[in-house]
Structure 1
Amino acid sequence: MAELGASADLLVVAGGDGTILHVVGQLGEIIKPIFGINVGSLGFLTCASSSTYREAVECIARDRINFSQRALLEARVHLGDKRTGKMIALNDAVLSRGELSRLVLLRTRVNGEPLTEFNADGLIVATPTGSTAYSLSAGGPILDPESGVFVITPICPHVLTNRSIIVAEGSIIDIEASDPDYPVFLTLDGRTPIHVERGSTVTIRKAKRTLPLASLPDASFFSVVRQKLKWSGSNV
């Protein structure tokens, strides 16, 4: 996939949101514009469907597509002097408990300053693109793709005043797996979970590069929200 991406000017991805997230994960450091054609269910990240793909291909041929520069997350796991390589996500980084049905402790800092120790099923750090995914299901807000922020959303926190908090996209978020007895796992964009050892710190920040995500000329973020989330009202 990385070899294909390196030689392409535009990647046309047929599938759903999960397919696009998988492609982004496979590309790694190679960032190429993505044009998504939805043949899945929701298709929030796609800009055409299986019934409108001919129109979409015509727009590509005539250079009539727009691109939204989507922020990416970069995550590393640190334990003492050891650290993993950079891992990239378009939607979110999620720290969560294992198979045991109990809460985990996640000590969280933003730019070196303590935020809180979440006692929860887990914690989501989402980009604006990812704010309409898992974070939204956990009660987080919807963010405009160009808002320049990230959102930290706890999953089923034990303390009811623990709610989503929005931070500047330039923030450095450190999350320590502080529970001495129970495992914590890190998942980026729904990919294979990574076991986070006790005492490890997951550092999340904005990646240096952005992902150009294609859209058709008459599309907007709010039209996508209305359509995909089935919002309606007297003025819509």
Structure 2
Amino acid sequence: MQNIVCRHVLLVCKAHHERAWKLGCEILQWLRVHGHMAALIEAGGEDPAYDEELDFVVVLGGDGTMLGVARRLVGRPVPLFGINFGRVGFLTDAQPDHWEERLKACLRGDLPLRACLALRWKLTRGGRLEAGGAAVNDVVLSRGSLSRLVCVNITVDGQRMGLLRSDGVILSTPVGSSGYSVSAGGPLLYPGMNAVGLTPICPFLNTISPMVFPGATVFRMRIESGSTDCYITVDGQEGQQLEIGDLVEVTGVPAAVRFMGDEISFFERLRTRGFVLERASGADAEKA
């Protein structure tokens, strides 16, 4: 450890999670004893610690906590290293019982980095910017509590795609494609792709099929009259109600988020995280 360069590390713990906070305090002390600069905060709030010059961020939580922290760092060259305190753990690398060995590898720079596409979105209302931000998994336009259709006029890179009447539409990154998008019948994208998936949610008369676009594609979606209550939701965590005439613009940002750690085989990750890949029959296996 003596030869390790001093690092500036931010520890972010899952909100209101006693075990994560306790381990965060232990890691904070360990880092300081070994000559590193470190700070510990709880996820979910605004904190100036995010604005510091950081070498990397350690997130103690599940995928939801990782997503919240990642959105704050979109476009910055600050890798995230996850210690899993959630159920699924698609985005985390280490388990709580084995944090020290993995953290030492982070400090040495031995762990590979995975750069992933993110989404930038903005909401314009009456010609004025109303809101905007980043998404790591997906941006969703969807109906409210009533089972009535949302009418969305979609253009892609300035070319009109058409009027989509549906329960909504999902724009997903490759990382996020294994969530809501694939459940709605959308494409499952390989994580390293520079691509964005578009998935209509229960489209009326199947007017627009799920599609995959290049990562830099610019999508413009206008809420048309005849729509019921409509909402924009970002990564399933942030959202607000939309109005008739609102314009939502979404585009991909290549290599905008960086995750630190060994990348498990894509198919192994699917198997270990609850996806069921059908086994080949005996005859098919022999042919293979």
- Structure number, greater radius of gyration: 2
Q: For residues 254 and 195 of structure 2, what CA distance do their matches in structure 1 show?
A: 15
- 2:255 maps to 1:212: no
Counterpart in the other structure of 2:14: none
Seen in structure 2, the aligned counterparts of structure 1 residues 58 and 223 have a Cα distance that, compared at 3 Å, is farther
How far the C-alpha of 1:80 sits from its partner, in A, is: 3.2
Q: For residues 192 and 75 of structure 2, what CA distance do their matches in structure 1 show?
A: 22
How far the C-alpha of 1:85 sits from its partner, in A, is: 4.5
How far the C-alpha of 1:169 sits from its partner, in A, is: 0.8
Secondary structure of the residue aligned to 1:144 is: coil
Contact 1:90 1:130 in 2 (8 A): yes
Secondary structure of the residue aligned to 2:110 is: coil
Q: TM-score, normalised by structure 1?
A: 0.89
2:243 to 197, 200, 218: 197
Q: Which has the higher contact order (CA 8 A, sep 6+)?
A: 1
Provide structure 1 residue ranges, at least 5 long, that are not aligned to the other structure: none
Question: Which residue type is aligned with residue 34 of structure 1?
Answer: L
Counterpart in the other structure of 1:132: 178
Structure 2 matches for 1:93-104, cutoff 5 A?
Answer: 93-104=139-150
Provide structure 2 residue ranges, at least 5 long, that are not aligned to the other structure: 1-45
How far the C-alpha of 1:232 sits from its partner, in A, is: 6.0
Deviation sequence 1:178-210 (CA, Å, 0-9, x none)? 134522111111123212211111000123761
How far the C-alpha of 1:134 sits from its partner, in A, is: 0.9
Give structure 1 regions of 4+ aligned residues with deviation exceeding 4 angstroms.
26-31
Counterpart in the other structure of 2:268: 223
Seen in structure 2, the aligned counterparts of structure 1 residues 84 and 58 have a Cα distance that, compared at 3 Å, is same
Question: Which residue type is aligned with residue 48 of structure 1?
Answer: A
How far the C-alpha of 1:28 sits from its partner, in A, is: 6.3
How far the C-alpha of 1:30 sits from its partner, in A, is: 5.0
Q: For residues 228 and 77 of structure 2, what CA distance do their matches in structure 1 show?
A: 36
Counterpart in the other structure of 1:78: 124
Question: Which residue type is aligned with residue 190 of structure 1?
Answer: G
Q: For residues 161 and 120 of structure 1, what CA distance do their matches in structure 2 show?
A: 9
Structure 2 matches for 1:176-191, cutoff 5 A?
Answer: 176-191=222-237
Cα RMSD for the two superposed structures:
2.2
Counterpart in the other structure of 1:166: 212
Contact 1:72 1:210 in 2 (8 A): yes
Contact 1:2 1:26 in 2 (8 A): no
Counterpart in the other structure of 1:115: 161
How far the C-alpha of 1:2 sits from its partner, in A, is: 5.2
Secondary structure of the residue aligned to 2:238 is: coil
Q: For residues 147 and 27 of structure 1, what CA distance do their matches in structure 2 show?
A: 20
Counterpart in the other structure of 1:11: 57
How far the C-alpha of 1:18 sits from its partner, in A, is: 0.7
User: Bigger CA drift: 5-14 or 223-232?
Assistant: 223-232
Q: For residues 279 and 108 of structure 2, what CA distance do their matches in structure 1 show?
A: 36
Counterpart in the other structure of 1:20: 66
Contact 1:5 1:11 in 2 (8 A): no
How far the C-alpha of 1:163 sits from its partner, in A, is: 2.2
Counterpart in the other structure of 1:148: 194
Seen in structure 2, the aligned counterparts of structure 1 residues 232 and 11 have a Cα distance that, compared at 3 Å, is farther
